[in-house]
Structure 1
Amino acid sequence: MKNIKALGLLFLALMVGLAAAVYAAGWAARQSNIASHKVVVAAVDIEMGSKINPQMLTSTDWPSGSIPEGSFKDINELQDRVVKVSVLRGDAVLERKLAPAGTQGGLSAVIAEGKRAMTVRVNDVVGVAGFALPGNYVDVMVNAQQDKGKGEEGKQISKTVLEHVLVLAVAQESSRDDTKPKVVSAVTLELSLEDSEKLDLARSVGTLSLVLRNQIDKKTVATSGITKSQLFGEKEVPPAAVKVAATTTSVYKPKAVIAKPAAQPATECVEVIQNGSRFINCF
């Protein structure tokens, strides 16, 4: 009786195992029937601005229904192309991640169309303690002395001259993957040609400061700047009032002189004889 039960359990186990094997074989067959194509992916991490060579790439099977737009099938198509953004290992190399064909490697390959790269000298304070890293956005502030007008004194003013400026590189590093602060002596910014002129003038007339901003904050705020008197709450006297006051105090008004009336000449005379003396009195 015990042998019959043991044989039954063994037979049941064999049937379950056979069913599992059949199911697994059918699943594998269905998976193999899914159409796939070769897609070029990065075999290593590729830094922004780097020129691609075949050793950096490999091909892998990719399901036909989910092939990313702009992908490549042949590694040779990417020979000497330059990436304008960093590509991580295993990521598909796409056309939108590449600079135009014929572009040479380096920082110039990642500058957006119509933009310019300009470098400014910074220190640990101006450079936001090294937190202004490639890929971040900053505002540029200048502290300078205003031009003097006639009869006026030049005022010290601090004003934001540029907003939402992309940091392309710090020193000679342009990688956007590193988030560790770096205190450097120079920062390269991406600017329009007009903003490049503003920045060049600003650094020649005063001292610059970089103001770090949130990467997703694209709002601009127009300000008129702030002067020293405004900072300390002092009331500014309008130039016209000062000029009038100065003119009033410098005017000399002589005192009026009242002339005394001239003595009227005598018109009548009387001869007087007294005690043998004779004299004349005129009125």
Structure 2
Amino acid sequence: MRAVFGLVLIVGVALAGGAVYMARNYISAYQSELARQKQAAEEALANAKVDVIPTVTVYVSNRPLKYGERLTQEDVRAVDWPENAIPEGTFSDLTALFPESGANERYILRTMEKDEAIMEVKITRPGESAGLTSRLEKGMRAFAISVDVASGVSGFLRPGDNVDIYWTGSSGTVEGNTGGITKLIETNVQLIAVDQTAGSDVASATIARTVTVAATPEQVAALAQAQNTGRLSLALVGVQDDSVASAIEVDQRKLLGITAAAPEPKEEVEQVCTTRIRRGGEIVNVPIPCTN
């Protein structure tokens, strides 16, 4: 019995030793293969051609900036920007952004988030304030239009929006129409201020009393005449709408679908020509053929 037990023990130890030997060989082979693959990957990476993207220094905002705030050197920082993706109008030189001589104060014209590139269209020129004059392009004028909750699109107008302007008034006796008329007089006119706010970062709808638009002197004259002779209404134009509205004019008859009645045909009266002749002691009219 003891001999059998000893034999079983010897066989068990031999099997366990064999299993340990096989496991050690498997682990060793796995580690060798892993090291070989790692070395091959490193060699491939070392031999691969690495494309280096050229960069240029660009100044970005160091914090959120709102309309009207003064821009200081503490508000900007330099970052490396890919050369082929630089927005137009950025600054790569601090002295160009803040001139060393003369008036160098700059103010924010458009709200900017942190790490957004500082661009010429978003700030004033050196020494220029953030008033309406900085929002007007060459040849344009600022003109104020009185509005209410209806004509002002329920307070959803913002500086920078584009609107179509309609005039409603009495057309007098033009073309026989004695009622009111509504006509589109200007299209895609830009708003530069709502009440006393010229910044576009308005958080909620505000019922404005006046809006200020950028217009040419000729448009200003037309708008002034229209505002003094009738009522102006604004229609907000979509951001991606690049269509041009055609001439639109609606009167009461067109609104109600009333067509003018055709005039009754006139009866033709036969023309009779006569001449006077004397017969004895009296003068009588005698019919004769008409020559004309």
Fold-level match, TM-score > 0.5?
Answer: yes
Map Cα deviations across residues 26-54 of structure 1 (whole Å, 9 max, x no partner): 88x957x6543321112233345654222
Contact 1:49–1:107 under 8 Å retained in 2: no
What is the CA distance between 1:59 and its match in structure 2? 0.9
Contact 2:109–2:130 under 8 Å retained in 1: no
Q: Does 1:194 align with 2:194?
A: no
Equivalences for residues 29-108 of structure 1 within 5 A: 30=50, 34-48=53-67, 50-79=69-98, 80-108=105-133
- Give structure 2 stretches of 5+ with no counterpart: 1-20, 99-104, 264-292
Q: Label 1:199 to 1:69 Cα distance change in 2 as closer, same or farther (>3 A).
A: closer
- Give structure 1 stretches of 5+ with no counterpart: 239-283
Q: Percent of pairs identical after alignment?
A: 24
Report the aligned-residue RMSD: 3.6
Map Cα deviations across residues 195-228 of structure 1 (whole Å, 9 max, x no partner): 11221222222222112233423413224x3333
What is the CA distance between 1:134 and its match in structure 2? 2.5
Q: Match of 2:33, as an amino acid?
A: L
Q: Which of the residues 211, 231, 247 maps onto 1:222?
A: 247
Q: Which of the residues 5, 25, 31 maps onto 1:10?
A: 31
Q: Paired residues, what number?
A: 233
Q: Match of 1:200, as an amino acid?
A: A
Q: Label 1:158 to 1:63 Cα distance change in 2 as closer, same or farther (>3 A).
A: closer
Equivalences for residues 1-283 of structure 1 within 5 A: 1-2=21-22, 3-19=24-40, 30=50, 34-48=53-67, 50-79=69-98, 80-146=105-171, 155-176=179-200, 181-215=205-239, 216-223=241-248, 225-232=249-256, 233=258, 235=260
SS of equivalent residue, structure 1 residue 211: strand
TM-score using structure 1 length: 0.66
Q: Match of 1:110, as an amino acid?
A: R
Q: Label 1:65 to 1:198 Cα distance change in 2 as closer, same or farther (>3 A).
A: closer
Counterpart CA distance in 1 for 2:112 and 2:125 is: 16
Q: Label 1:210 to 1:108 Cα distance change in 2 as closer, same or farther (>3 A).
A: same
Query: Max radius of gyration: which structure?
Result: 1
TM-score using structure 2 length: 0.64
